[in-house]
Amino acid sequence: MDHKYKIIKVIATGGMATIYKAEQVSLSRMVVIKKLHPHLASDIELVKRFEREAKILGRLNHKNIVEIIDFYKKNGDYFIVLEYVDGKSLRELLKEAGSLPLHIANFIILEIASGLLTAHKSGILHRDIKPGNIMIGNNGIIKISDFGLALALEGTEITEPGVTIGTPAYLPPELIKGKKATPRSDIYSLGILFYEIVTGRNPFKGTNRYETINNILYKKLPPIQLKQDSKNKDISIIITKMTRSNPKTRYENIDSVVRDLTPHTTANQDNLIKFLSTPEESEYAAEIQRRFSSGIFV
């Protein structure tokens, strides 16, 4: 590592990189360092992808997108230095809570959509929106992370045509079919995420990758069983429109999602902080628990 950074611990290890929590010595602050696996440093295409992630983040400046601090190469190794988010991933939060109250879910999705709005206006598609790539700060700030599969719309796609990228359970049908990603692709993934955090389950996830892909391509979105009032009905309509199988019938752009969701978002940063300290059970989770307890299965 560079002398500017002091490694504290390994946070995670993935297929492409190791993630470290570190200290930026000069400023005495915590950062995240993403190091490309040494055995991949000789793969020109993977190095290009790693460098592209850094350059894409360098183009984006928004409170809901993880900030890049540095990118460098040393002794044949490649490093991306990112801001450290003191909190947990949305995946971890869902593992703890099961599902989230609707007002908290609306706020989280609106914040993610706001970050995506900046990315899309900058010509950047994320292409891998999922719970593990959303950070929930203890200060109530939501951050989109991991732009490793992001695509600059005016650029050349590194992924080979027909190669499926992204996490299967959140992939839109058109990407599974090998078609080019568009802003509507990110909207679909965000809609599936929205469905999951409200209901506590991914609507298409199967027992394996192939079953999941088959569900996405051939099954309809299961209905969202929320308390029937106008507010919940509107949210169900928004989620349904975000996740339509045919991209032409989805929301055309993320601006429209922000516009439709904003009137229904009553929670704020302070509400999220309170929820993180004293999680409450969502109405959907409570209803499912009641049905299982009484022997009524859904």
Active site residue 128: yes
pTM of the model: 0.89
Share of the chain above pLDDT 70, in %: 86
Same domain, 69 and 107: no
Same domain, 99 and 52: no
Domains: count for the chain: 2
- Whether the per-residue pLDDT at 183 is higher than 60: the answer is yes
Give the least confident one: 116-120, 138-142, 275-279: 275-279
Same domain, 66 and 194: no
Same domain, 72 and 94: no
72-78: average pLDDT: 94
Residue 147 contacts residue 57 (beta carbons within 8 Å)? yes
The CATH code of the domain that includes 272 is: 1.10.510.10
**From the CB of residue 273, how many other CB atoms can be counted at a distance below 10 Å?**
14
The CATH code of the domain that includes 19 is: 3.30.200.20
* HSE value, Cβ hemisphere, 13 Å, CA-based, for 261: 30
Cα 225 from chain centroid (whole Å):
23
- Domain span at 75: 5-83
Give the least confident one: 192-201, 207-216, 217-226, 288-297: 288-297
Residue 212 contacts residue 168 (beta carbons within 8 Å)? yes
Out of 2, 77, 128, 260, the active site residue is: 128
Q: Which of 23, 53, 83 is the last residue of a domain?
A: 83
Closest CA to 143 of 61, 262, 54: 61
Share of the chain above pLDDT 90, in %: 80
Same domain, 210 and 282: yes
pLDDT band at 152 (very low <50, low <70, confident <90, very high): confident
In a domain, residue 17? The reply is yes
